Chains A and B, each alone.
Chain A
Amino acid sequence: MASESTTAHPFEDAPNHVTPTVVHDPILTKTDFKSVGTRPLRPDGLDKVTGRARYGADFNLPGQLVGLVLRSPHAHAKIKKIDTSKAEKLAGVKAVITAADLPDHTAGDQSMYDILENCMARGIAKYDGHAVAAVAAVDAPTARAALKLIKVDYEILPHVTDVDEAVKPNAPLVNPKMFTEGVEPKPKKASNIAKRTEFGHGDVDAGFKDADVIVERSFRTEQTHQGYIEPHACVASVSPDGTGELWVCTQGHFVYRNHCAMLLGMEVSKLRVTSSEIGGGFGGKTHVWAEPVALALSRKANRPVKLTMSRDEVFRASGPTSATSIDVRIGAKKDGTIVAADATLRFSGGPYYGMWAELGAMTAFACYDLKNVRTVGYEVLVNRPKTAAYRAPSAPMAAFAVESVVDELAHKIGMNEVDFRIKNAAKQGTRASYGPVYGPIGIGATLEAAKKHPHMKAPLGKNQGRGMACGFWFNFGGQTCTDINVGPDGSVTLTVGTVDVGGSRASLALCVAEELGVPYEQVKCIVADTGTLGHNDMTDGSRGTFSSSMAGIFAARNAITVLRERAAKMWEISVEDVKWEDGHAKAVGSKYGNLAPLSLKEIAAAAGNTGGPVAGHSEIVADGAGVSFATHIADVEVDPETGRSKIVRYTVIQDAGKAVHPTYVEGQYQGGAAQGIGWALNEEYIYGKNGRLQNPGFLDYRIPVCSDLPMIDTQILEIPNPNHPYGVRGVGETSIVPPLAAIANAMSNAFGVRMTHVPMSPPRVLKALEAAQKG
Chain B
Amino acid sequence: MGVLVTTTINGDTVEFACDPHESLLDVLRNRLGLSGAKEGCGTGDCGSCSVQVDGRVVCSCLVLGVEAEGREIETVEGLSTGTELHPLQTKFLEHAALQCGVCTPGFLMAAKALLEKNPDPTEEEIRFGLAGNLCRCTGYDKIVRAVQDAAKVMRG
**Which A residues fall within an 8 A CB radius of B?**
39, 41-42, 44-46, 48-55, 57-58, 141, 226-231, 277-282, 308, 310-311, 501-503, 663-664, 666-667, 670-671, 673-675, 697-699, 703-707, 709, 711-712
Q: Which 8 A-B pairs have the closest CB atoms?
A: A51-B36, A279-B102, A674-B139, A48-B101, A698-B45, A670-B139, A502-B99, A51-B76
Contact pick for B41, options A53, A280, A311, CB 8 Å: A311
Is B62's beta carbon under 8 Å from chain A?
A: no
Kindly list chain B residues whose C-beta atoms are within 8 Å of the C-beta of A281: 100
Query: B26: nearest residue on chain A (CB-CB)?
Result: A140
Stretch at the interface among B1-9, B65-73, B128-136: B128-136
In the bound assembly, the distance between CA atoms of A705 and B107 in angstroms comes to: 12
Kindly list chain A residues whose C-beta atoms are within 8 Å of the C-beta of B92: 49
Known interface pairs A58-B35, A667-B99, A706-B143. Does A674 touch B48 (Cβ–Cβ under 8 Å)? no
Q: How far is the CB of B18 from chain A (nearest CB, A)?
A: 12
Q: How far is the CB of B29 from chain A (nearest CB, A)?
A: 8
In the bound assembly, the distance between CA atoms of A697 and B41 in angstroms comes to: 7
Known interface pairs A230-B102, A282-B136. Does A503 touch B96 (Cβ–Cβ under 8 Å)? yes
Contact pick for A51, options B34, B42, B95, B144, CB 8 Å: B34
Q: Can you list 20 contacts pairing A with B, beta carbon distance less than 8 Å? A: A45-B93, A45-B101, A48-B98, A51-B36, A51-B37, A57-B38, A229-B102, A230-B100, A279-B40, A310-B42, A670-B139, A670-B141, A671-B139, A697-B41, A703-B136, A705-B133, A706-B130, A707-B131, A709-B140, A711-B123
Contact pick for B134, options A58, A229, A664, A667, CB 8 Å: A229
Is B75's beta carbon under 8 Å from chain A?
A: yes
Query: B39: nearest residue on chain A (CB-CB)?
Result: A57
In the complex the two chains form, is B36's CB within 8 Å of A50's CB?
A: yes
Known interface pairs A51-B76, A229-B46. Does A501 touch B99 (Cβ–Cβ under 8 Å)? yes
Query: B99: nearest residue on chain A (CB-CB)?
Result: A502
Is B60's beta carbon under 8 Å from chain A?
A: no
In the complex the two chains form, is B141's CB within 8 Å of A712's CB?
A: yes
Known interface pairs A229-B40, A279-B100. Does A671 touch B137 (Cβ–Cβ under 8 Å)? yes
Q: How far is the CB of B67 from chain A (nearest CB, A)?
A: 19
**Which B residues fall within an 8 A CB radius of A?**
19, 29, 34-43, 45-46, 48, 75-77, 79-80, 85, 89, 92-96, 98-105, 108, 123-124, 126-128, 130-145
Kindly list chain A residues whose C-beta atoms are within 8 Å of the C-beta of B39: 57, 231, 308
Contact pick for B131, options A48, A279, A705, CB 8 Å: A705
Beyond A229-B102, A280-B99, A704-B140, 18 additional pairs, beta carbon < 8 A: A39-B96, A49-B104, A51-B76, A227-B136, A228-B136, A229-B100, A230-B38, A279-B38, A279-B102, A281-B100, A671-B136, A671-B139, A698-B46, A699-B43, A706-B130, A706-B143, A711-B123, A712-B141
Kindly list chain A residues whose C-beta atoms are within 8 Å of the C-beta of B102: 55, 229-230, 277, 279-280
In the complex the two chains form, is A55's CB within 8 Å of B43's CB?
A: no
Q: How far is the CB of B145 from chain A (nearest CB, A)?
A: 8
Known interface pairs A277-B100, A279-B38, A503-B96. Does A667 touch B85 (Cβ–Cβ under 8 Å)? no
Number of A-B residue pairs with CB-CB distance less than 8 Å in the complex they form:
178
In the complex the two chains form, is B99's CB within 8 Å of A706's CB?
A: no
In the bound assembly, the distance between CA atoms of A664 and B34 in angstroms comes to: 29
Q: How far is the CB of A277 from chain B (nearest CB, A)?
A: 7
Contact pick for B40, options A231, A671, A705, CB 8 Å: A231
Kindly list chain A residues whose C-beta atoms are within 8 Å of the C-beta of B38: 55, 57, 229-230, 279
In the complex the two chains form, is B98's CB within 8 Å of A229's CB?
A: no
In the bound assembly, the distance between CA atoms of A226 and B100 in angstroms comes to: 14
Kindly list chain B residues whose C-beta atoms are within 8 Å of the C-beta of A41: 93-94
Kindly list chain A residues whose C-beta atoms are within 8 Å of the C-beta of B48: 229
Contact pick for A49, options B19, B108, B134, CB 8 Å: B108
In the bound assembly, the distance between CA atoms of A684 and B79 in angstroms comes to: 37
In the bound assembly, the distance between CA atoms of A670 and B130 in angstroms comes to: 18
Known interface pairs A311-B43, A698-B41. Does A502 touch B134 (Cβ–Cβ under 8 Å)? no
Kindly list chain A residues whose C-beta atoms are within 8 Å of the C-beta of B136: 226-229, 280, 282, 671, 674-675, 703
Q: How far is the CB of A575 from chain B (nearest CB, A)?
A: 42
Kindly list chain A residues whose C-beta atoms are within 8 Å of the C-beta of B43: 311, 697-699
Kindly list chain A residues whose C-beta atoms are within 8 Å of the C-beta of B142: 663, 666-667, 670
> Which of B29, B40, B124, B131 gathers most chain A CB within 10 Å?
B40
In the complex the two chains form, is B45's CB within 8 Å of A706's CB?
A: no
Contact pick for A706, options B35, B76, B126, CB 8 Å: B126
Q: How far is the CB of A545 from chain B (nearest CB, A)?
A: 13
In the complex the two chains form, is A50's CB within 8 Å of B42's CB?
A: no
In the bound assembly, the distance between CA atoms of A631 and B145 in angstroms comes to: 24
Kindly list chain B residues whose C-beta atoms are within 8 Å of the C-beta of A230: 38, 40, 100, 102
Kindly list chain B residues whose C-beta atoms are within 8 Å of the C-beta of A49: 76, 79, 85, 89, 92-93, 98, 101, 104, 108
In the bound assembly, the distance between CA atoms of A54 and B100 in angstroms comes to: 11
Kindly list chain B residues whose C-beta atoms are within 8 Å of the C-beta of A57: 29, 35, 38-39
In the complex the two chains form, is A53's CB within 8 Å of B42's CB?
A: no
Kindly list chain B residues whose C-beta atoms are within 8 Å of the C-beta of A53: 101
> Which of B19, B29, B38, B143 gathers most chain A CB within 10 Å?
B38
In the bound assembly, the distance between CA atoms of A57 and B36 in angstroms comes to: 11
In the complex the two chains form, is A311's CB within 8 Å of B108's CB?
A: no
Query: B123: nearest residue on chain A (CB-CB)?
Result: A711
In the bound assembly, the distance between CA atoms of A49 and B96 in angstroms comes to: 11
